[in-house]
Structure 1
Amino acid sequence: MRQQFLTLLALSLSVGWGLSACNQNSANLESNKLTLTGSSTVAPLASEIAKKFEAEHPGVRIDVQTGGSSRGLADATQGLADIGMISRALKDSETEQFQSYAIAQDGIGIILESSNPVQSLSNQQVVDIYQGKINNWQEVGGEDAPITVVNKAEGRSTLELFLKYFQLTNSQIQADVIIGDNQQGIKTVSGNQNAIGYVSIGAAERDISAGVPLKLLSVGGVEASTETLQDGSFPLSRPLTLVTKETPSGLTKEFIEFAQSENVHDLVEAQNFVPISPQKLVQVP
C-alpha cells in the first residue's frame, strides 16, 4: 500500500513538474510577443518603430493593429492588447485607469482638394460649414458649388479634438460623408474638389509630398505644418500616446522606452511628426 502511494506521489510530482515546465515555456514564448492596437494616426509610426525594435531584438514579434483610439483603450483594459495607441492625451477621467507615454507630437489640419480656390477659412467659417449654415463655396470666396462636409466617425480622437477646439458637438454637424482613418479622409477629399475634411497634419504632409492633390489650410490664422507644431504656435496639436493598464514591465517597458528614445527620432520625423522634447517626456518608472 505504502509502495503504491509512493508511486502515485512520484507520478503526480512528475506530471506537475511537466505542466510547470510547459507553462514556463508558454510564458517565455508569450514574453517575446507584443500586441498594439488603436489609433490609425499612431499605427504607421508604431509599425516603423516595431520593425526597428524587432531588428535589434531577434525573436521578438510585435503586431500593430488599427481601429481607433477607443479600441486602443478598450483592448488595453480587457487585456486584448499589451499597449493601446491613442492620438491624444488621456482625459482627466482616464488618468487613474491608464499609464500614458507620449512618443511624438502631431496636429489636426483642415484639408481641401488642391484645385479648390479657397485659400483660408476663419474658425467661424469652419464652424458654419460643419453646422450647415454655409453650404456653398461661393459664400467663402470659392466657386458656385455645394460643399461636401466630411466628418470623422465616433470613437476617433481626431473627432474629439476637432469638436473641442471648435466648440461643437457631434450632433450639430451636418455631415455628407463619415470616414474612419486618415487615409479614408485624404482619399475622400483629394478625390472631390468640393469636399472639406480634417486629418493628421503628419499624414496630410506625407501624402502631399507624394503628389496627392491636397492642401492644408491654416487654423486660427496659423499655418498647419510640422514647423508650427515644432515651435508650439499651432493651436490644434496633440500628443501621440502609448497607454497601458498597469505600470509597464518586461518587454512592454523595453518597447515603450525604445519608442521614446532618440533612436527613433528619425522615424518620427520621417512620418512628419515632431519628437517630444526630453523635458516633456513622461518616462516609464
Structure 2
Amino acid sequence: MSVRFAWILALALLSFTGAGPSRAEGPAGQLVITGNGPEQAAMETLARAFEKANPRAYVDFIWHENAKPLELLRSGKAHAAVAGKEEPDLRAVQIAWDGIAIMVNLMNSTKELTSAQVADLFSGKIKEWSVLGGPDTRVLLIDRPQNSNVRDAFMRQLGIDGKIPSDAEVIKRDEKAINKVVGTLPPHSAVTYIGMRSALLAVSTGVAVRLLPVDKAEPEKPTVKDGRYKLRRPVLLLMPKQALNPVADAFAAFALSPAGQAILDREGYVPLDSKPSP
C-alpha cells in the first residue's frame, strides 16, 4: 500500500469516526442578534471574534434605531436580543454593565447632584440651574427615544416613569445629543442623560461637556462596576427559554469568557466581576 493511499484512507476513517476535521468541535449554524441601542458596535466586534474562534458559526444582526427587539425575538426572527431589563418569559444573561451619565456643557458651573435632584431635574420640577448651585438660566431638557434601553433604565431607577415633560426635545443618537449640549445657547442650559461609553469617549476626546457626579460618586467605569455610581444598567442577552439555540448559548458563554469581557471593556462597557453561567 502506498504512503499516499494510506494517508487518504486514514483521513477517511477519521472522518467516518468523527475524529477528523469534518467533525470539528464547536457550535455550528446561524445566530441572529437584534437590538436598537448604542451597543451595536460592541456586539459586532464581539461577534467577529466569536466567529473567528468558531469557524462554523456565523452571526447576523437586525439592528436599527426603530427595531423592536423583543417582538423580533418572540416571533422567531432573531435568536437573541440585547436589552436592559429581564422579561419573565425569556432567559437573561448579563454580559456587562453600562453607566448612565448626566451630561452638561463644560461651562455649566453645577458641581454635583443627588439622585433626588436628578429625578426632580428630569421630571420638570427644577426649572432653573441656580436652584442646583449652577448658572442663572433655565434648564433645557434633552430626552432620549422611548424604545431606548438607557431611557427605560434611567426612568426606572429614578422613579420618574412617564414624568419627563412632553415638551422636552427627544434626540435619538448619542452624537446628536452631545452636539446639542455643546451648541445650545445659552451654552450652559442643556442637560441630557447618556450611556457611559459615549459620555466618556466625548470627554476623553476634548468635547466641551462635563459629566456630573451623582450622590458623591464620579461617573467612571470603576464606580459603575462596584455600584457606587448608582445610575447604571445591565447589558443583557435575552433568549427564549424553550427554543434553545446552541450557537446563542455559545455566544453568551464567549461574551462571559476572559476574551469576551476584554472586548466589552475595550468597547467602553464595564466588565463583570464574576461570570455567571448562561
Indicate whether the TM-score tops 0.5. yes
The residue number in structure 2 matching 1:207 is 202
Task: Please list every run of 5 or more consecutive structure 1 residues that lacks an aligned counterpart in the other structure.
Answer: 1-30
Q: Deviations over 1:155-190 (max 9, x none)?
A: 222222222222213245354211234344333323
Q: Structure 1 residues 176 and 238, CA, compared in 2 at 3 Å: closer, same or farther? A: closer
Q: 2:76 aligns with which of 50, 74, 79?
A: 79
The residue number in structure 2 matching 1:262 is 258
Q: Return the alpha-carbon distance in structure 1 between the equivalents of residues 51 and 95 of structure 2.
A: 18
SS of aligned partner of 1:170: coil
Q: Structure 1 residues 50 and 127, CA, compared in 2 at 3 Å: closer, same or farther? A: same
Q: Return the alpha-carbon distance in structure 2 between the equivalents of residues 207 and 117 of structure 1.
A: 19
Task: Give structure 1 regions of 4+ aligned residues with deviation exceeding 4 angstroms.
Answer: 67-70
Amino acid paired to 1:108: I
Q: Structure 1 residues 105 and 56, CA, compared in 2 at 3 Å: closer, same or farther? A: same
> Cα offset for 1:196?
0.5
Contact 2:150 2:233 in 1 (8 A): no
Contact 1:48 1:267 in 2 (8 A): yes
254-263 or 61-70, larger mean C-alpha shift: 61-70
Contact 1:131 1:174 in 2 (8 A): no
The residue number in structure 1 matching 2:161 is 169
- CA RMSD, 1 decimal: 2.4
Amino acid paired to 1:251: V
Q: Find out whether 1:231 has 2:226 as its counterpart.
A: yes
Q: Deviations over 1:184-225 (max 9, x none)?
A: 433332333321011111221122222222221112222111
The residue number in structure 1 matching 2:267 is 271
> Cα offset for 1:77?
0.6
Q: Return the alpha-carbon distance in structure 2 between the equivalents of residues 218 and 85 of structure 1.
A: 28
Q: Return the alpha-carbon distance in structure 1 between the equivalents of residues 121 and 167 of structure 2.
A: 10
Report which of the two has the higher share of helix: 1
Q: Structure 1 residues 231 and 123, CA, compared in 2 at 3 Å: closer, same or farther? A: closer
Which residues of 2 match residues 1-285 of structure 1 at below 5 A? 32-58=29-55, 60-67=57-64, 71-86=68-83, 88-90=84-86, 94-95=87-88, 97-192=89-184, 193=187, 194-246=189-241, 248-278=244-274, 281-284=275-278
Contact 1:203 1:271 in 2 (8 A): no
Q: Structure 1 residues 128 and 239, CA, compared in 2 at 3 Å: closer, same or farther? A: closer
Aligned length: 247
Q: Return the alpha-carbon distance in structure 1 between the equivalents of residues 76 and 140 of structure 2.
A: 40
Q: TM-score, normalised by structure 2?
A: 0.79
Q: TM-score, normalised by structure 1?
A: 0.77
> Cα offset for 1:67?
4.2
Amino acid paired to 1:76: L
